[in-house]
Every structure is written in structure tokens, then in C-alpha cells.
Amino acid sequence: MLEALDLAGTFVFALSGAFKAVRLRLDWLGVAVLAALTGIGGGIIRDLLLGVTPPASLRDERYVLVCLGGAAAVLVAASRIAARWNRVMLADAVGLGLFAALGAAKGLEAGIGPLGVGLTGPLTAVGGGVIRDVLVRELPAVLYKGFYATAAILGSAAFLLLSALGAPEAAALGVAAAITTGLRIATLVRQTQLPRAPYHPEPPDTL
Amino acid sequence: MLEALDLAGTFVFALSGAFKAVRLRLDWLGVAVLAALTGIGGGIIRDLLLGVTPPASLRDERYVLVCLGGAAAVLVAASRIAARWNRVMLADAVGLGLFAALGAAKGLEAGIGPLGVGLTGPLTAVGGGVIRDVLVRELPAVLYKGFYATAAILGSAAFLLLSALGAPEAAALGVAAAITTGLRIATLVRQTQLPRAPYHPEPPDTL
Amino acid sequence: MLEALDLAGTFVFALSGAFKAVRLRLDWLGVAVLAALTGIGGGIIRDLLLGVTPPASLRDERYVLVCLGGAAAVLVAASRIAARWNRVMLADAVGLGLFAALGAAKGLEAGIGPLGVGLTGPLTAVGGGVIRDVLVRELPAVLYKGFYATAAILGSAAFLLLSALGAPEAAALGVAAAITTGLRIATLVRQTQLPRAPYHPEPPDTL
């Protein structure tokens, strides 16, 4: 069950990478690479930080396979997928919740502190998207819009709190994922944004 | 023999990084850094993914040394090297083949599956170039032009197939490298490109 | 003492990340992320290269905390901090020296060669800034201006030399850090720049 959701989340993330690639008219390989890095990039960064090598998504063939499926789907049926994008967004919110909760759980297991877990959990969820944005030379979306990473951070924090209170892992995972997913959907509906920083120029590098 | 080729490939990769740097008129350090990251970046990413730390190219002094040599060569003799760029391209194709085959062999040893190997092999070959392009804010060339990474993927696949059929490693390495190098040269001559994805806009992030 | 300096250096690095974020009017999360990656990014890359996982800055809560403090400080008091930017630059020079010396020491312990140490030492000091610049789509400053990474390289080299001559580690660290910091401040005052490469176009990718 958890595995099926994990693979489904990877697939949905891969779709968003593939759409960036078709917008830029990359070649087939570029579509596959961008789909794969968006799908499994966050998990790979998390695994590297936690010392899990080779990363889980390179040992289990299904992750790359699912990403290639996402790339192929966008190559052959982009407009049909785009027409149902609201469903993809809902699935993406579920993936976000799951990845944040699982990332937090793996961080906790690896013995890093609460603030570290508050980074690795969300990173699992948003890392692939950041890699995607950097490769296509866009300012990473999580840095300035939506309530995406913030939802993941709050879900990861909930996981930590529940675990500290002695909740069984399955329950903590479920509640944490639900909080992230629910927050993501609610903020999508209401178009909630985090406050933006007031503008200030960078000070010059002189003494 | 293998080692000499490996170092020669690193040198040629470093040349391409150094040329990006002189086109942008970076300072001497920038030329050295871009040459080094292009030369050894792919192998470092591969080693990190496979859990080989410190990466081989930081333990064996000759790799960085050869990259610094490439940077110095471009700094003092850019136009003479550019005038012989077709020979550099041939050497680059040999390096591509070798890196892809060696990367696939290391991936297989580390126990990752065929699709993982199909990623780490080519990554060894093209990872340095992707780092180079991201640092100088260009869309990574492998994502949209030429037949570069694709040749590396086909060579890595050949290595996997030959290994699965029980071929001795040296033979599998040689054939795989020759396939990548041959494909790269043939597609350079014929200017073969992978098909580009048909354009489709990105769906908006709203429900 | 060393720890307090290390945390202070992290804080100052985080300030520079946060200023990039407010210049771009990222949201609060973006400010926090950019501050954190600039503050601890260099150390994380070094730890990954040396096989230290999870990285020290994720195990010790204070590093992330100090970065969040830097982000908050810039969010609430950007103009007051900018008005005292020359003091921040001095503190940054001290951080640069310390990070370069500590990075070199950790590289030496991990058993990599002198050239590898000459990379990991400075990388600790400048890696966070490179991540920051790439995320906001700027050409990394260390590649083309100032005498920043070069000062770190010379300090790391001094550490290596002193260690090879049998100096006690504390002395080697102190002298190396002082060299980097002194060079950085002197070159800031005199606006010294490394020579820039003479321009040359990139040769085309054809045979």
C-alpha cells in the first residue's frame, strides 16, 4: 500500500518534470532525464545525506521505470494529461504528503535532530522539483510561491511531534501525510501564499 | 592502459570546461574550477551515488592535476587548441565511451539494477558537463542536442548485456566503449539528433 | 572557542544568503532556505565527499538554528545590518579563514591527497555561496571576481605545509585561518582581483 502510493507519487512528480521538458522542446532523452530527476531526485538527495548508498531508487528498478512511464505519457498524451491537470495536482498533493512523512521517518531513524528532520523530510518532497528548476534555469518555485514546501515542513513537524509523544509509526506517518496533503489542497483552493520578504538591495562587497 | 585513457579522457573533458570559462572571461581560478568540475564531476557524482567516499578522483592526485593541466593549456594556447578541435572531439568521443563503460561496470559491482546502471554509466560520462553548464547558466547541452548521452546509454546497455551473457569484463568494457565512441563519432559526422518533443505548455498550478 | 567561531561564521554566511533572498523578494521560506543552504551548504558538500553522513550540520541542531537566526535578522532588520556591512564583511573573512582551515584538516584526516585537500578546504568555505548563486541564477561570484576562493586555497595550502612540517594541529589551523582571513581583508581593501582569462570563443561541436 505504502509502496504503491510511493510509486504513484514518483510518477506524478515525473509528469511535472516531463512537462517542463516539452515546454522547452528538449529531445526525448531530455524529457526522460528531467522526468527521472524530478521523480527520484528528492529521495536521492535525502539518501545521500543520510548515508544510504546506493540510493533506494537506484536499487529498486520500479522507480526509474515509473519515471520513464511518466516521460512517455507526456510525450504521447500531453494535452490529454493537461486537460485533467486538476486530478494530477491532487495526486501531487498526496505524493507531497507521503514523501514528506517518509522522509521525516528516515531522517529520524538515521539519528539526526528535529531541525535536521525538518529539512530532510521536506527535501525528499521538494528536492526533485528544485533540481528540475535549476536544470531548466528557473528560480526554484518553492522559494517564492505557493504553500508547497511549507505544507511539507508542517507535516514533517507533525510526524516528529507524534513520534515524540509515542505514537505508533504507521499512525504518525498517516497523520503527518494527511496534514501536508490537506494543507496543500486547502492552500491551492484558497491560493494562500507565504508572505514575501520586503525588498532590500544587497550590500556591496566593500569594506 | 585503461588508466592512461581515463586520464586522457579527464583532460579532454577539462578542456571543454576551460573553454566555457574563457568565453565568459572568468578569472584564472574560475578557469581551473570549471575545468576540474567538468573533468572529474561526473565521476564524483557516480562515486557519491555508489557510496565510494572519498571519490576516486580526490584520492588519486593525477586527476586534479590533469584538469589543472587542461585549464593551463586553454589559458596559454586557446587558439591553437581550437584550431585542432576536431581532434579534441575525437578524443572526447573516446573519453565518453570509456567513462560510460567504466561507470556501468562500477554500478554493476555496487549491486544496483540494470536501469540504475543505465543511469550511473552515462552519468559518469555526462555529469561533469551538466555541472559545467549549470554553473555558467546554460541549459545542459545533453538535454536537447546531439547524440551524446544517448550514445553513452547504448554503450552502458551493451556492457550490461555482455556481462549478463557471461563475457569477460575486459571484453565487455572494450566493446561497450567502442559502441559509445563509434556512435558518437558517426552521429557527429551525420549530425544526427534525437527527435525533439512536440511543444506543449505547462499546465497551471491551480485546482 | 573554535565551535563559537564556526557558528559565528555560519551565521555570517547565512546573512549573505538571506540578503540575496530579500533582493529577489522570495517568501519567508525562501529566505530561510537560502540562508540555511549558504550557511551550511559548503560543509555538507565536504562531508558528503569525505563520507561523513549524516553531515555534521544536520546532527548538531545549532547550525540550522543559527542559519534561521540569520534569516530572521535580515527579515526584520535588513537596513540596520546593511548599514554595518563592513563589520559583516570582516566577520565573513574570519569565517572564510576558519572554514578553509577546518575543511583542509578534515580532508587530511580522511586521507585524501594534497590536491584533494586543496579542493575540499576551500569548498567548505565557498560551497554554500556557490549553491546560493546557482539557486538564484547568478554566475557564481567566486568564478570571476574578488580574491575569495583564492585566499581560501592559499590558507588550505598553508595548513598542508605546516602539517607536513610537523606543526601541531591547533597551530596549523590558526596560522592557516589567519593567512586566509588576512589575505581576504587585504585584497578587499586594495580591491585586488585575480587576472581574468583572455577571451576566446568556444570551438563548435563538429568534426
Size of interface A-B (CB pairs under 8 A): 127
SS3 C200: coil
Q: Extract the C-alpha cell encoding B181.
A: 565512441
Confidence of residue C2 (pLDDT cuts 50, 70, 90): confident
**Residues of A whose CB is below 8 A from B200:** 19, 22-23, 74, 78-79, 82
Query: Nearest residue of A to residue C75 by CA position?
Result: A197
Confidence of residue A207 (pLDDT cuts 50, 70, 90): confident
Q: Judge whether residue C79 has pLDDT over 90.
A: yes
Confidence of residue C1 (pLDDT cuts 50, 70, 90): confident
Q: For C14, which DSSP code?
A: H
Confidence of residue A142 (pLDDT cuts 50, 70, 90): very high
What pairs with residue C27 in β-bridges? A196
Compute the nearest-CA separation of C164 from chain A (Å). 31
**Residues of B whose CB is below 8 A from A28:** 194-197
SS3 C1: coil
Dihedral (CA of C172, C178, C179, C181) sign: positive
**Cβ distance of B23 and C196 shorter than 8 Å:** no
Q: Judge whether residue A20 has pLDDT over 80.
A: yes
Q: Put residue C195 in one of left, alpha, beta given phi > 0 → left and psi -120 to 50 → alpha.
A: beta
Mean of per-residue pLDDT scores for chain B? 95
Q: Judge whether residue A151 has pLDDT over 90.
A: yes
Instruction: Give partners of A (≥3 CB pairs < 8 A).
Output: B, C
**Quick one: which of A1, A61, A2, A25 has its CA closest to A136?**
A25
Query: Nearest residue of B to residue C116 by CA position?
Result: B58
Asked if B135 and C143 count as a contact pair (C-beta separation under 8 A), the reply is: yes
d(CA B132, CA B135): 5
SS3 C42: helix
Q: Judge whether residue C151 has pLDDT over 80.
A: yes
Q: Judge whether residue C155 has pLDDT over 80.
A: yes
CA C89 to chain centre: 12
Confidence of residue A158 (pLDDT cuts 50, 70, 90): very high
Run of H or E residues at C62: helix C61-83
Query: Nearest residue of B to residue C149 by CA position?
Result: B29
**Cβ distance of B22 and C207 shorter than 8 Å:** no
Rounded to an integer, the average pLDDT of C194-201 is 95
**Cβ distance of C54 and A116 shorter than 8 Å:** yes
Mean of per-residue pLDDT scores for chain C? 95
pLDDT at A194: 94
SS3 A130: helix
Q: What Cα–Cα distance (Å) separates residue B35 from each residue in A2, B15, C120, C121? A: 44, 6, 16, 18
pLDDT at A16: 96
In this prediction the ipTM stands at 0.93
How many CB atoms sit inside 10 A of residue B187's CB? 18
Rounded to an integer, the average pLDDT of C16-42 is 96
Mean of per-residue pLDDT scores for chain A? 95
Q: Extract the C-alpha cell encoding B118.
A: 543505465
As to burial, measured by CB atoms within 10 angstroms (0-12 exposed, 13-18 middle, 19+ buried), residue B196 is middle
| Secondary structure string (H, E, C) spanning chain B | CHHHHHHHHHHHHHHHHHHHHHHCCCEHHHHHHHHHHHHHHHHHHHHHHHCCCCCHHHHCHHHHHHHHHHHHHHHHHHHHHHHCHHHHHHHHHHHHHHHHHHHHHHHHHCCCCHHHHHHHHHHHHHHHHHHHHHHCCCCCHHHCCCCHHHHHHHHHHHHHHHHHCCCCHHHHHHHHHHHHHHHHHHHHHCCCCCCECCCCCCCCCCC
pLDDT at A87: 94
d(CA B3, CA C163): 31
Confidence of residue C205 (pLDDT cuts 50, 70, 90): confident
The string of pLDDT tens digits covering residues A59-99 is: 999 999 999 999 999 999 999 999 999 999 999 999 999 99
Which residue of A53, A68, A74 to mutate against B (max B Cβ within 10 Å)?
A53
Among A183-192, B1-10, C9-18, which is the least confidently predicted range? B1-10
Asked if B46 and B133 count as a contact pair (C-beta separation under 8 A), the reply is: no
What predicted TM-score, i.e. pTM, was given to this entire model? Answer: 0.95
Asked if C24 and C10 count as a contact pair (C-beta separation under 8 A), the reply is: no
Asked if A163 and A172 count as a contact pair (C-beta separation under 8 A), the reply is: yes
**Quick one: which of A147, A162, A53 has its CA closest to A114?**
A162
pLDDT at A3: 87
**Residues of B whose CB is below 8 A from C205:** 89, 146, 188
**Residues of C whose CB is below 8 A from B22:** 197-200
Rounded to an integer, the average pLDDT of A12-26 is 97
**Cβ distance of A198 and C61 shorter than 8 Å:** no
Dihedral (CA of A148, A154, A158, A164) sign: positive
pLDDT at C119: 87
Q: What is the DSSP string of C99-164?
A: HHHHHHHHHHHTT--HHHHHHHHHHHHHHHHHHHHHHTT---GGGTSTTHHHHHHHHHHHHHHHHH
Rounded to an integer, the average pLDDT of A4-8 is 92
The string of pLDDT tens digits covering residues A109-124 is: 998 989 999 888 999 9
Confidence of residue B206 (pLDDT cuts 50, 70, 90): confident
**Quick one: which of B49, B154, B160 has its CA closest to B110?**
B49
**Quick one: which of C93, C102, C85 has its CA closest to C18?**
C85
pLDDT at C111: 87
Dihedral (CA of B56, B59, B63, B68) sign: positive
Query: Nearest residue of C to residue A154 by CA position?
Result: C29
- With pLDDT > 90 as the criterion, what percentage of chain C qualifies? 92
**Cβ distance of A89 and B115 shorter than 8 Å:** no
**Residues of C whose CB is below 8 A from A206:** 86, 89, 188, 191
pLDDT at B158: 97
Q: Judge whether residue A1 has pLDDT over 80.
A: no
The string of pLDDT tens digits covering residues B128-148 is: 999 999 999 999 999 999 899
Which residue of A144, A153, A183, A199 to mutate against C (max C Cβ within 10 Å)?
A144
Query: Nearest residue of C to residue B20 by CA position?
Result: C202
**Quick one: which of A126, A67, A65 has its CA closest to A97?**
A126
Rounded to an integer, the average pLDDT of C181-188 is 96
d(CA B93, CA B108): 23
Q: What is the DSSP string of A137-172?
A: T---GGGTSTTHHHHHHHHHHHHHHHHHTT--HHHH
pLDDT at C26: 97
Degrees, nearest 5: CA angle A48-A51-A57: 55
Amino acid at position B131, single letter: I
Q: Extract the C-alpha cell encoding A138.
A: 528557473
Q: Where are the domains of chain C?
A: 2-189
**Cβ distance of C85 and A139 shorter than 8 Å:** no
Q: Judge whether residue C200 has pLDDT over 90.
A: yes
**Cβ distance of A24 and B139 shorter than 8 Å:** yes
pLDDT at C34: 97
Amino acid at position A153, single letter: I
Confidence of residue C160 (pLDDT cuts 50, 70, 90): very high
Q: What Cα–Cα distance (Å) separates residue C166 from each residue in A58, C120, C177? A: 44, 21, 17
Query: Nearest residue of B to residue A27 by CA position?
Result: B196
**Residues of B whose CB is below 8 A from A146:** 205
Backbone dihedral angles phi then psi of residue B95, each to the nearest 5 degrees: -60, -45
As to burial, measured by CB atoms within 10 angstroms (0-12 exposed, 13-18 middle, 19+ buried), residue B195 is exposed
**Cβ distance of A26 and B196 shorter than 8 Å:** yes
Confidence of residue B1 (pLDDT cuts 50, 70, 90): confident
Asked if B64 and C119 count as a contact pair (C-beta separation under 8 A), the reply is: yes
Rounded to an integer, the average pLDDT of B117-123 is 90
Confidence of residue C3 (pLDDT cuts 50, 70, 90): confident
**Quick one: which of B89, B121, B98 has its CA closest to B1?**
B98
Nearest by CB to B23, from C150, C200, C207: name it.
C200
**Quick one: which of A48, A49, A55 has its CA closest to C58?**
A49
The string of pLDDT tens digits covering residues C99-135 is: 999 999 999 999 898 999 988 899 999 999 999 999 9
**Cβ distance of C78 and A198 shorter than 8 Å:** yes
Query: Nearest residue of B to residue A84 by CA position?
Result: B203
